[in-house]
Chains A and B, each alone.
Chain A
Amino acid sequence: MSAVLQFENVTKEYRAFPGRRLCALRNFNLAVEQGEIFGFLGPNGAGKSTAIHLAMGFMRPTAGRGLMLGQPFGHAATRRRVGFLAENVALYHRQAEHLVRFYGALNGMGGEQLSSRARGVLDLVGLSSHTGRNVSKFSRGMLQRAGLAQALVNDPELLILDEPTSALDPLARVAVRELLLGARNAGKTIFLSSHLLSEVELVCDRVAVLHRGELVRLGRTTDLLSSAGQTQIVFRGVAASAVPGAVQQNGVGRLLISAADQRAALERVWAAGGEVVSVNPVRRSLEEMFLEVTADRPTAAPSSPAPAIS
């Protein structure tokens, strides 16, 4: 698969008064493949929005380079094939349909194709009954949906979404989730920055975690959530104290062991006269993984090995 979005040793420093420099991204490397939903996580100030703004060409990297759809960051013609939703949606105060048409026209669309597409995306985000309303009268959630509509109007190959569901109610979130999954099934690539870890866990194929401008974790969501080969054995018919390492919980015994010790542990349960109810690999939540990797850690020294990139 080819990389749709690629950061190569990107560093971004901001100048701060007096004469100081703040490093928002440090030697950042990442490759987002075609047709995946990529979750981009990190605490506030980790550098997520900076990375997105660099990719969109709103900023220039201090060092390094990047490619979006095979072209260097900031290539205007390439942005015609990209949909972008900013973290704080800010749109002109126009009727929703006129607004979406305006943004579509900026991408070179026009005529009946643009009109029908504008109506289509407004319908897709659940604003079909508000097409004639000025967006200045919209609630924050509706504004976010209008922002999503303008990002989708050009039928983009790559969608870059910065907190797309932060202001949405649960129903709208489900709708957006389905929309993202549908887009992925249609071969689109989605780069999703979000603090809603449960959403990311549900839809993202791969996840990257950024902390203090550095990539601290990257991998397939399923791999990151599996708890390093740990297995939980649940048994009954025997007191937990009869099996070393087990705890009694809700009338059953639970034993947490490494996968390598699974066979021996099962034999211990059977030898004690117990009945095995279930044997399952332990799965962490994304939140647990996130908290673990973003726990306050000192910034990596220059000699530290770079985080593994897959």
Chain B
Amino acid sequence: MKPVLLIAINFVREQRWPIFVLLLWILLLTFLGLVSDIPHEREELLFLFKQVAVYAVAFSIFFGGSAIYNERKTRRILAVLSKGVDRRQYLSGLVLGVSMACGIYCFSLGITGSWTLGQAGFPMSQVWFLMLCVIAACTLAGTVALMFSTFLNPFFAAGATAAVLGIPAVLSRTTLSQWEYLMPVYLLTSEVWKSSFSSPGRIWWLPIGMAICETVLFWVLAARIFSRVDIAVAVE
């Protein structure tokens, strides 16, 4: 467990500048929200909050899809895997790192959201539940991206992840709505997207539980693929 935690913390440390910029972005939006006329512009404020929350999924794909590639390209992965670190532990560290990075983003958004939206009358508990949905969606999306990045470059890994996450969403809108349960990222982001002041949403654990199960499934798949990859070969 210790190597997993070390790799995760190291990942967050390596991504500190992108995370810092994202936090500044949240702070800027909060500032703009606070100086606005909250009671009259609360719908706009909620729309902005939902939009910024859903962005986190895209960030997780970016983080997950590029993590292994960057490490292999800089060859820093060699020094890490030359230690008593199993490849599964390495992947777990990256999944945890992606989740931590997104968790920091969501935690900041949760604090600022409960501050601004709370003043507008949105239930604070629902803000935090929505953040939990976003973290679960980010963890799953990041793991899928990480799985593809074990054998694809970040560009194709991001594309493949978007396809895997997006196709069930499109199918759920065009055919059977049950398709959204296949990859619950869409279901979770829908929870965020549908919430409003008149109907803030419900505390519904099923999609979060499904996201956790699928994260484990994709982690297992990623570990099986990664165990067969020649990591010292240049990646392009």
Contacts and interface: CB of A to CB of B under 8 A. Distances in A.
Given A53-B232, A58-B232, A60-B228, A103 B75 contact: no
B74 A106 contact: no
Interface string B159-179: 000000000000000000000
Contact of A56 (B2, B3, B75, B82): B82
Contact of A108 (B2, B81, B228): B2
Contacts of B75: 86, 88, 90
Residue of B3, B84, B86 most packed against chain A (CB within 10 A):
B84
A102 B6 contact: yes
A63 B48 CA distance: 57
A107 interface: yes
Interface stretch (A72-80, A120-128, A188-196, A256-264): A72-80
Residue of B75, B81, B83, B230 most packed against chain A (CB within 10 A):
B83
Nearest to B89: A76
Interface residues of B, number: 26
B14 interface: yes
A28 interface: no
A150 B2 CA distance: 18
Interface in B63-102: 74-76, 78-87, 89
A213 B230 CA distance: 18
A92 B232 contact: no
A51 to B, nearest CB: 11
Contact of B78 (A58, A60, A105): A58
A32 interface: no
Contacts of A108: 2-3, 84
A106 B232 contact: no
Contacts of B10: 92, 102
A58 B79 CA distance: 11
B233 interface: yes
B3 to A, nearest CB: 5
27 contacts: A56-B78, A56-B81, A57-B81, A58-B78, A58-B230, A59-B232, A59-B233, A60-B228, A60-B230, A76-B84, A77-B84, A79-B85, A82-B82, A86-B75, A86-B79, A90-B76, A90-B79, A92-B14, A92-B76, A102-B10, A103-B83, A105-B6, A106-B7, A106-B80, A107-B84, A110-B2, A150-B79
